[in-house]
Structure 1
Amino acid sequence: MNTQQLINLLKLGSFEEQNVRVAVFDEEARFLYVSTTLFGFAEDYIGMSVYDYYKGHLSESEVEKVRNAFAKALRGEVGREEIVLTNRLNRDSITWDVEFNPFVDDEGNKRVLSQIKPREVNLTTSSTNFFIREMVEQSSDVFTVFDKDYNFVYVSKVDATWNDRPLVGQNIKDVVSGTNLKKFYQRAELAKKSVGEIITDTVFIEIDEDEESVFECSMEYHDFNQLGHFFLDRTADVTDKFRRNREIDSQKATIDKMSKWTALGQMAANIAHEVNNPLAIIELQVQAIERRGESITSEQLLDKIRSIGEQKNRIANIVSSLNIYSQDDRSMREMTSLSSIIHDSIALFKTGLVDESLRIVFSNDADSDLVTINSSEVIQVLINLFNNSHDAIAGLKEQWIEINLLDDRDHVIVEVLDSGQGIEEEVAQKIFNRFYTTKSKEKGTGLGLNISREIIMDHGGTLTFDSDSEYTTFMITLPKSELL
């Protein structure tokens, strides 16, 4: 039997199913054949020295074992060794049994037939590639391998083509263009800088004017030693998931808006009262001017005009706070002073306040309070905290809400505390859960704190409950902004 006949015979074997890797070497220990590998790299081993193959996997002492076993086979003996190999992907150590068998073909050429098998069969051993390949190729996701120049060298979908040509051998720029090609290169650059780490991105592909598909692409970069450097890429169709998430976000926005308008509805009567009071004063001043006619002195006239102006400003402040609070554009953010937002929130909260015994104190100890926010959303959060405090301390002999504005190097901090004696630990663990409330159905939905936390997190901040404080205390942190 000549060497090629031996190789053809070996190709008929299902070695991967037996968890065995089989190879044929020439006298110089160069690969003439190796059984199939995961990504179809078998042809790239041909001509490579077995010692180069093990470079990076084995210690020098382990490589020496391989040399000794191979030398035995060349002398006509069976060379057997136990070696410890380090997995090329996850660096796990695996113990293998290696056997080198002598073989002389019909033409008198010395050959060595080897087999390598792990002691323990698990998914970290590279000879389980058959089973992994089965999972890969049966998966709905597409697994792709690119070389360092971004050429396709493997695609898990056997019939994968582009422009009626097989994908394997084509370059990524022949298949992808525009924004998605730019994203691919960015993903690849990040993967190269973080070898072994998974870099994930989302890609949008327009099917037609009204429809687009969404894919999640995950890439890793690996050094396969003598084989070279390769990018391993997984592409998953997440269109349905994306649409569901978009629907959930839309529903959240609707619930958020309903919560805001419900609060406005609850304040409407008191707001009307707050506006009617200054209007009544304006009306009285106008009537007084009309009654006195020409007999009114210039000093008296100026005094009444000042009074009218003050009441007009009072109404304007109420309307301004309402305008900010009722904005629906969640994407609109601008740099602003957080202390001014707190003042607007207190003013708006007071318009809905019937209980005049409640004392509200605001102290500003921040050196810098500039933040980039959606003012309407942050006012919504603050008013929700004020309302919760007001409901919690109703009936207490001492009723107060204290707002403290602080800052550290990177954040602006708002403390909202009240005269309540804290929250029980069991309740505190649930207060941010959606639909959890300790209030009656008429007073609470269990959405306020949940929505408030999501708003603050969306701004890159945090909303937390301070369980160590003597009083009921919530803390908001927001990233600082700096003037350019």
Structure 2
Amino acid sequence: MNLEKFIELLKYGNFEDQNSRIAIFDKDARFVFVSTTLFGFTENYVGMTVYEYYQGHLADSEVKKVKDCFAKALNGEPSCTQAILTNRLNKEKITWDVDFNSFVDDKGDTYVLSRIRPHEVNLSTSSTNFFIREMVEQSSDVFTVFDKDFYIVYVSKVLGKWRDESVLGLHISDLISGKALEKFYKRYKKAKENPGVVITDIVTIDMSSDDDPRNELILESSVEFHDFNQLGCYYLDRTSDVTEKVLRNREIEIQKATIDKMSKWTALGQMAANIAHEVNNPLAIIELQTQALEKRGKDLKIEQVLEKVRSIAEQKNRIANIVSSLHIYSQDDRSKRESVSLSSLIHDSIALFKTALVDEDLKIVFSNDSDNDIVMVNSSEIIQVFINLLNNAHDAILDLKDKWIEINLDDSNHKVYVDIIDSGHGIEPKLASKIFNRFYTTKGEKKGTGLGLNICQEIMNDHGGHISYVKDAEHTTFSLTFPSVELN
């Protein structure tokens, strides 16, 4: 029998479909041939002894079984044994049937033909190379194996938009450069420091050209590092083209920010006329007091002069509070977070809300029972939440005889709680299930956009907090939860 021709015949065998691995060893138990593996590690077996290979996978007692069976086969006695392999990743024990049969080639050299297959095909062992290969090759993702020096030893396919030619055997630096290559090395270094842990990163590759200067390829790369003992160390990489997904999310974020800003400035627009009125009132008082001092200053007693000065100072502070609250609310830096007293934000929110309020029958009560109401937030966004809830509450009770809004502040277990309650008697269950949906509203066109509660929810989630409607409360109640900042 010609050894080379025999190996060629073995290569055409359908062994992977049968969960079998076929190998040929020389008389010194060194690999001469092994059937193809999923990742093309074949060349790493050749020249290695079967004992060296199994020492990385089996206990010493199991290796001894293999040695005994191999020795029998060399003496012309077909032999088989069962070897128990322990999976290094999940510690699962799998029993394999190992067969050895000897043959002599046409040159008179003795070789051993071996077959290894699982003793029982169960759920874990039936995911054969064949089925795995089918899933990998048909997947829209690219599966790549790099050796320890970052050369490609296997790739499931070539990403069409990236390259048209084969990349097998190329170094990673032949494919990417610049910041993308720097991120690659950092990601793979982290993977090597954490064997078996999936490290994921987003990589952007510039695909721009004179025809399309804005073109870019955005990839999500997930990599694991594994040490296969004598087989060597390899990086297993799964890369997905997420360009459309990322660009779509960017567009959604831009639209959300635009809607958020529109909602805020719509509220400010509704306040504008009333703010002018609120500022003009204290200005008029200041003007009257100033005129009185100018005309009658010499005739006034010192107590009367001081009283007028105090009155002017009070009106000045009133204007300052309105302007300060308005300034905080109109800020547009979403990323700015600072430690702030939640009660101070509630006071600012009430002040701003009242500037747009012409309903003199509405009563607002704020109760603060918190020992620590310090939170890390974007003040502008949280004021927006409170004003949205106050506006909604007022609109809901506008036609009631008894109109009031109560705000309660408390804290416990490293959290700060705010309840906003109005004199209404709740929301119908079928409506309550929809109130946080985007664009859902029960208001008419003249009472706003219907964006408030959805934006409130997004802002609270972004701050690590929570907003909910309390369905079992006696009066209409919305509850907000914030993570608190520990006091030193």
Residue 461 (structure 2) aligns with: 457
Shift of 1:43: 0.8
Q: Distance in 2 between matches of 1:273 and 1:180?
A: 58
Figure out how many residues of one structure are paired with residues of the other and give that number. Answer: 480
Equivalent AA in structure 2 for residue 132 of structure 1: I
Give the alignment of 1:68-87 within 5 angstroms.
69-80=69-80, 85=85
Give the alignment of 1:43-442 within 5 angstroms.
43-55=43-55, 57=57, 66-67=66-67, 69-80=69-80, 85=85, 96-118=96-118, 125=125, 128-137=128-137, 139-157=139-157, 168=169, 170=171, 172=172, 176=176, 179-208=179-208, 210-289=214-293, 292=296, 295-296=299-300, 299-394=303-398, 395=400, 397=402, 399-406=404-411, 408-409=413-414, 411-420=415-424, 427-440=431-444, 442=446
| Mean CA deviation greater in 34-43 or 216-225 | 216-225
Equivalent AA in structure 1 for residue 439 of structure 2: F
Shift of 1:438: 4.5
SS of 1:226's partner is helix
Q: Distance in 1 between matches of 2:237 and 2:144?
A: 5
The runs of 5 or more residues in structure 2 that have no matched partner are none
The 3 A distance-change label for structure 1 pair 159 and 372 is closer
| Mean CA deviation greater in 58-67 or 376-385 | 58-67
Q: Please give the per-residue CA displacement for 1:439-479, whole angstroms capped at 9, x wherever unaligned.
A: 45544544222211211222333334455766524122135
Shift of 1:231: 1.6
On the 8 A contact 2:375/2:482 being kept in 1, the answer is: no
| Mean CA deviation greater in 326-335 or 295-304 | 295-304
Q: Please give the per-residue CA displacement for 1:74-101, whole angstroms capped at 9, x wherever unaligned.
A: 3434434566655566666656554333
Q: Distance in 2 between matches of 1:84 and 1:234?
A: 30
Q: Distance in 2 between matches of 1:300 and 1:426?
A: 62
Equivalent AA in structure 1 for residue 144 of structure 2: T
* 1:34 has 2:34 as partner: yes
Equivalent AA in structure 2 for residue 266 of structure 1: Q
The 3 A distance-change label for structure 1 pair 142 and 159 is closer
SS of 1:304's partner is helix
Q: Distance in 2 between matches of 1:206 and 1:441?
A: 46
The 3 A distance-change label for structure 1 pair 270 and 94 is farther
Q: Distance in 2 between matches of 1:389 and 1:62?
A: 75
Equivalent AA in structure 1 for residue 408 of structure 2: I
- TM-score normalised by length of structure 2: 0.82
SS of 2:128's partner is helix
Q: Please give the per-residue CA displacement for 1:183-219, whole angstroms capped at 9, x wherever unaligned.
A: 3344334434543332211122334564443221111
Q: Distance in 2 between matches of 1:65 and 1:469?
A: 73
Q: Please give the per-residue CA displacement for 1:342-384, whole angstroms capped at 9, x wherever unaligned.
A: 2211211222233344443334444444443322111111212
| Mean CA deviation greater in 69-78 or 36-45 | 69-78
Q: Distance in 2 between matches of 1:75 and 1:96?
A: 23
SS of 1:308's partner is helix
Structure 2 residue aligned with 1:476, among 463, 469, 481?
Answer: 481
- TM-score normalised by length of structure 1: 0.83
Q: Distance in 1 between matches of 2:439 and 2:141?
A: 37
Q: Distance in 1 between matches of 2:121 and 2:338?
A: 59
Shift of 1:17: 4.8
SS of 1:217's partner is strand
SS of 1:113's partner is strand
SS of 1:271's partner is helix
On the 8 A contact 1:463/1:477 being kept in 2, the answer is: no
Equivalent AA in structure 2 for residue 10 of structure 1: L
Equivalent AA in structure 1 for residue 281 of structure 2: N
Runs of 4+ more than 6 Å apart? 119-123, 158-162
The runs of 5 or more residues in structure 1 that have no matched partner are none
Q: Distance in 1 between matches of 2:416 and 2:192?
A: 37
| Mean CA deviation greater in 11-20 or 221-230 | 11-20
